[in-house]
């Protein structure tokens, strides 16, 4: 019998996250996902009156294509996938992987080539469709989280099917504050960073783009970032795991970058000119996600965290930075992770992961669960 949680999640994605309706065409991009869930998602889309289009992919096959990727093949993929993306109103991607490091031996030059040439597909999807992207729980994810497979699956479905409408209501004051803020200062062990978000705007993420969700993001004015930030969570990018990433900024540009693998880190930051500037600043507060699991769709939502993102800016909160890279790096500021502070225009907004102003207290974990 199909797990009843599959049906609940499929309905959430269709009815809430992408709001599928009669006459919509929806691309379902399924990567290493059980057929049983794909079937439930097809049924939910049809029940809403939408026409589902399904793409089934496998990470080992994708790796083989990337190993010998050239500009002709990448351009062909771009043209075909962009033409298809332009035919749909909605996009749902479920991304599973038995091995999170599957692409670790793909040359960085191949990954950069593919990312650069296929960027128009991503841009169209982000800006022209109603989309939602989420992971699928696998034993490798459970292992990365230090949990049993069963315990991780239970956490996954709890966090992915929580009451996002309630969370959305609690986000409104934070979005309002970020829209009117100018100067931001971040403090934590090894971190003292200042920048402006004046005039950039802000956007709350409430389960209608990513699942799990729980963040409000903005973006630094491109040349305003100065200081240093020390990230305390591991991060995987292009199949390579990085730890203890430390970035030094001068007038918006990353001028120093160190980690456990500094050579690979700097290769990625040299993908193009925009990769050394920042395209996003965000505060995370999902009450169910407390520890990193080397999966950015979860880690960027950790309660009491923030992420700072070298690379491409979103058009919704745009500082003009363009890059094939968009790399969310996470700093947890809860007391047990070393603590820290977030200031907007000389007002303490969050201390040791806890929101301080009265209008933001509903976002603290004890009030969201």
DSSP designation for 336: G
Give CA torsion, residues 343, 344, 348, 351, to 10 deg: -50
Per-residue confidence (pLDDT) for residue 293, from 0 to 100:
85
Q: Around Cβ 120, how many Cβ atoms within 10 Å?
A: 13
- Radius of gyration for the chain, computed over Cα atoms and rounded to the nearest angstrom: 20
Q: Are 323 and 274 in contact (CB under 8 A)?
A: yes
pLDDT at 50: 98
The closest of 31, 43, 7, 62 to 239, measured between CA atoms, is 62
Burial code (b: 16+ CB inside 10 Å, e: under 16) for 45-81 equals: beebebebbeeeebbeebbeebeebeeeebeebbeeb
CB neighbours (10 Å) of residue 244?
A: 14
Q: Are 298 and 134 in contact (CB under 8 A)?
A: no
Nearest CA to 84 among 14, 28, 19? 28
Q: Could you identify the residue written with the tokens 């309660």?
A: 303
Question: Cα separation of 315 and 313, whole Å?
Answer: 6
* 283 vs 304: CA distance, rounded Å: 8
For 296, the enclosing helix (H) or strand (E) is helix 296-299
Q: Domain ranges in the chain?
A: 4-160, 164-368
CA dist 32 and 36 (Å) reads 12
Contacts of 296 (CB under 8 A, 6+ apart): 235, 236, 328, 330
Q: Give the per-residue pLDDT at 2.
A: 79
Question: In terms of Cα–Cα distance, which of 174, 267, 253, 246 is closest to 220?
Answer: 253
Task: Please check whether residue 300 is in contact with residue 215, taking contact to mean a CB–CB distance below 8 angstroms.
Answer: yes
* Cα-based distances in Å from 295 to 49, 103, 126: 33, 14, 20
CA angle 208, 13, 35 (to 5 degrees): 140
Count of Cβ atoms closer than 10 Å to residue 278 Cβ = 28
- Region 4-160: CATH code: 3.40.1830.10
Q: Residue 99's pLDDT is what?
A: 86
Dist. CA 57–CA 134, nearest whole Å: 15
Residue-wise pLDDT tens for the chain (369 aa)? 779 999 999 999 999 999 999 999 999 999 999 999 999 999 999 999 999 999 999 999 999 999 999 999 999 999 999 999 999 999 999 999 888 789 989 998 999 899 999 999 999 999 999 999 999 999 988 888 888 999 999 999 989 988 898 899 999 999 999 999 999 999 999 999 999 999 999 999 998 888 999 999 999 999 999 999 999 999 989 888 999 999 999 999 999 999 999 999 999 999 999 999 999 999 999 999 999 988 888 999 999 999 999 999 999 999 999 999 999 999 999 999 999 999 999 999 999 999 999 999 999 998 888
């Amino acid at each position: 019998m199909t797990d009843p949680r599959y049906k609940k999640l499929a309905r959430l994605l269709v009815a809430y996250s992408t709001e599928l309706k009669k006459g919509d065409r929806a691309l379902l991009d399924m990567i290493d996902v059980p057929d049983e869930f794909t079937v439930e998602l097809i049924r939910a889309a049809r029940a809403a009156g939408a026409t589902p289009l399904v793409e089934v992919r496998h990470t080992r096959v994708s790796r083989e294509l990337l190993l010998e990727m050239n500009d002709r093949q990448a351009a062909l993929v771009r043209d075909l996938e962009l033409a298809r993306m332009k035919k749909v109103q909605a996009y749902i991607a479920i991304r599973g992987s038995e091995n999170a490091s599957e692409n670790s031996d793909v040359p960085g030059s191949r990954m950069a080539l593919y990312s650069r040439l296929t960027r128009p597909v991503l841009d169209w999807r982000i800006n022209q469709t109603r989309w939602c992207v989420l992971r699928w729980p696998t034993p490798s994810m459970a292992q990365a989280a230090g949990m049993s497979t069963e315990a991780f699956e239970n956490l996954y479905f709890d966090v992915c099917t929580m009451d996002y409408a309630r969370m959305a209501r609690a986000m409104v004051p934070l979005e309002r504050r970020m829209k009117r803020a100018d100067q931001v200062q971040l403090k934590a062990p090894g971190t003292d960073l200042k920048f402006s978000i004046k005039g950039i705007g802000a956007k709350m993420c409430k389960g209608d783009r990513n699942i799990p969700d729980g963040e409000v993001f903005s973006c630094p004015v491109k040349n305003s970032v100065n200081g240093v930030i020390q990230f305390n969570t591991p991060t995987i990018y292009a199949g390579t795991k990085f730890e203890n990433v430390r970035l030094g900024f001068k007038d918006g540009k990353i001028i120093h970058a160190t980690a456990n693998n500094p050579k690979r880190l700097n290769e990625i930051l040299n993908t193009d000119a925009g990769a050394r500037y920042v395209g996003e600043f965000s505060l995370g507060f999902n009450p169910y996600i407390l520890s990193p699991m080397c999966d950015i769709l979860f880690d960027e939502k950790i309660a009491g965290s923030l992420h700072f993102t070298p690379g491409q800016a979103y058009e919704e909160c745009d500082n003009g930075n363009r890059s094939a890279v968009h790399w969310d790096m996470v700093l947890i500021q809860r007391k047990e992770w070393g603590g820290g502070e977030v200031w907007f225009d000389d007002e303490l907004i969050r201390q040791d992961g806890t929101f301080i102003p009265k209008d933001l207290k509903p976002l603290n974990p004890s009030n969201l669960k």
